[in-house]
Amino acid sequence: MNKKFVLDKGVFRILYEKYKQYLLPIGILCISVVLINQLLIPQFNDFLSTKEEEDEYRQSNEILRNNLNFLTNLDTTVLGEQVGIVSTALPVDKDFEGVLTSISSAAVATNVSLDDFTFNVGELSSGSATLTKERLPTIRINLTLRGTVPAIKEYINNVSKRFPLIEISKLESSSGITTATVSFYYRPFSTVTINEKAPIQPLSQSQIELINTLLEWQKESPIFTSSLSQEELEAQLPALINPSENIEVEVIEEASPSAPIVSITP
Amino acid sequence: MSDGINLLSRKTREQPVTRNYLLPFRIISFGLLMVVFLASLVLFVLKLQSPLESLKREEQSLLNNISVLDQKRGQYAFLNDRLKNISEILKTRPAFSEVLDTFSTIIPAGVNLSGISLDKKTAKVTFESNNLTEINNMLEATIALMQNDTTFAQRVALDELNYDNRRQVYSVAVLIDIE
């Protein structure tokens, strides 16, 4: 017998009558699934992201709190002195006065006669476009000195511990006459951009030792000229600081072969 | 065929089976709805109790407090920057004075330092004496210095050995490789 199946109103009625008890649980189940997908999972993800955000804020606040404590406890006077020392050791501009004072006072201290000298200063302006970031700019000076060889040795020793910092790139001493090529380092101001949420690290042991060494050199030098006064530095710093980015270092002018610049990226 | 003939009707046989499935099905569906409701409620309450807003306020307050100390922070950043650069300079510049100082300590009496020539990473030191034995002592002291102090120099080489007949003086030039 080949009966034709017809899906009509009657069939639906029979099916409804037979399975109507299942309709409510199925509907509830469907609603539950929809709620899970549309409400619960997003709500859970939102909760997780809130937790992550909370952790980030906690860490960030911890860093900020430490930074605040560190800066609050930082002795302004000591910091000012340290800034004074380093800005004299490595001036922000071409410190001709400091350079002349250094080479001549070293000559006086070591009984060496300073004959003549020539400056190779490079550009007098400080346009940043022509400069590379890899090296520190220098002022190069050719010196002629008269003195005994031990005195010249003393002169090298003495002038190496004076400010601004120098590098002797060439020296020839013979028969009482010495010619030397000396490079004085300087480092122009650059835009210092500070990331507010980066932890401020206290000075490392090696940095403290370096400051102490510079302090000793400063004491040994009978004539000490500061290339930048505290007031000048303070006046210039706000304009050089931009919050919430990384510190960028721009170097200006003629390069020295052995002093790569260190970029600060806190 | 009449259903009444069978003692156990088809209808009554299927009903208990249907009920057996229906009850757990209802429990599961209602239970799931309740779980969804409760979970959603718990998450909502947890989010309401989140300290995020207070953390944001605290951060803003800390930032405000720090901004007062921007001047100090700038100075400290400047100090750090200079120290890094100075450290690089001192690390990379040739240690001529240290080498010459060390070398001076081994020069015996009767030997004079007569010439210095410095070029990048090399120091040429010339010393003289009218006594060849003193020159020999000087060379032996140099070798001993190299053996004992490995940080002194990478290489020390005898560059020249001359005798000035007019002054009757021996002179020796030593090349010191600083790096």
> Chain B, 59-118: which have a CB under 8 Å from a chain A CB?
59, 62-63, 65-67, 69-90, 92-94, 96-97, 100-101, 104, 112-118
Residues of B in contact with A79 (CB under 8 A): 72, 75-76, 79
One-letter amino acid at A87 equals: S
Q: How far is B58 from chain A (nearest CA, A)?
A: 7
- Range with the poorest average pLDDT among A161-175, A250-264, B144-158: A250-264
User: Which residues partner with B174 through β-bridges?
Assistant: B125, B158
With an 8 Å Cβ cutoff, are B55 and A54 in contact? yes
Residue B42: which H helix or E strand, with range?
helix B10-48
- Range with the poorest average pLDDT among A7-16, A127-136, A205-214, B35-44: A127-136
pLDDT the model gives residue A64: 94
What are the pLDDT digits (tens) for B44-99?
A: 999 999 999 999 999 999 999 998 998 888 889 889 989 998 998 888 888 777 77
- CA B58 remoteness from chain centre: 32
Q: How far is A95 from chain B (nearest CA, A)?
A: 16
What are the pLDDT digits (tens) for A69-82?
A: 999 999 999 999 99
pLDDT the model gives residue A235: 58
| A238 pLDDT more than 70 | no
pLDDT the model gives residue A131: 41
Interface residue A216 vs chain B (CB under 8 A): no
pLDDT the model gives residue B18: 55
Residue B64 DSSP SS3 = helix
| B17 pLDDT more than 70 | no
The residue among B89, B90, B114 with the most chain A CBs within 10 A of its CB, best to mutate, is B89
Q: How far is A241 from chain B (nearest CA, A)?
A: 7
| Calpha distance B41→B35 (Å, rounded) | 10
User: Which residues partner with B115 through β-bridges?
Assistant: B126
One-letter amino acid at B71 equals: Q
Closest listed residue to residue A187, CA positions, set B75, B92, B84, B91? B84
pLDDT the model gives residue A237: 54
- CA nearest A44 in B: which residue? B43
Confidence of residue B7 (pLDDT cuts 50, 70, 90): low
pLDDT the model gives residue A203: 92
| Calpha distance B157→B138 (Å, rounded) | 13
| A226 pLDDT more than 60 | no
pLDDT the model gives residue A124: 53
- CA nearest A196 in B: which residue? B63
Q: Is the dihedral of CA B48, B54, B59, B63 positive or negative?
A: positive
Q: What does the block give as tokens for B126?
A: 């010339």
Q: What does the block give as tokens for B152?
A: 């002194």
Query: Which residue has 């910091």 as its token pair?
Result: A79
| Calpha distance A53→A243 (Å, rounded) | 22
Query: Which residue has 């430490």 as its token pair?
Result: A66
Contact residues for A262 (Cβ-Cβ < 8 A; gap 6+): A249, B81, B84, B85, B88
The residue among A14, A18, A43 with the most chain B CBs within 10 A of its CB, best to mutate, is A43
Give the number of other Cβ atoms within 10 Å of residue A69's Cβ.
11
- CA nearest A171 in B: which residue? B118
pLDDT the model gives residue B143: 84
Closest listed residue to residue A257, CA positions, set A157, A185, A155? A185
Residues of A in contact with B78 (CB under 8 A): 83, 86-87, 192, 233, 237
pLDDT the model gives residue A262: 31
Computed over every residue of chain B, the mean pLDDT equals 84
| Calpha distance A50→B47 (Å, rounded) | 8
Q: What does the block give as tokens for A28?
A: 């509830």
Question: Strand A192-194 to strand A177-185: parallel, antiparallel, or no bridges (unpaired)?
Answer: unpaired
With an 8 Å Cβ cutoff, are A83 and B78 in contact? yes
The residue among B42, B82, B129 with the most chain A CBs within 10 A of its CB, best to mutate, is B82
Q: What does the block give as tokens for B62?
A: 């800390």
Q: What does the block give as tokens for B64?
A: 């405000």
What are the pLDDT digits (tens) for A122-173?
A: 655 544 433 433 568 888 888 898 988 888 888 888 888 888 888 888 888 8
Q: How many A-B residue pairs are in contact by the CB < 8 A criterion?
A: 233
- Higher pLDDT: B97 or B131? It is B131
Confidence of residue B4 (pLDDT cuts 50, 70, 90): low
Residues of A in contact with B96 (CB under 8 A): 156, 160, 168, 171
pLDDT the model gives residue A40: 93
Computed over every residue of chain A, the mean pLDDT equals 77
- CA nearest A189 in B: which residue? B78
- CA nearest B80 in A: which residue? A203
Cβ burial B66-95 (10 Å sphere, 16+ → b, else e): beebbebbbbbbbbbbbbbbbbbbbeebbb
> Chain B, 12-41: which have a CB under 8 Å from a chain A CB?
18, 22, 25-26, 28-30, 32-33, 36, 39-40
| A252 pLDDT more than 50 | no
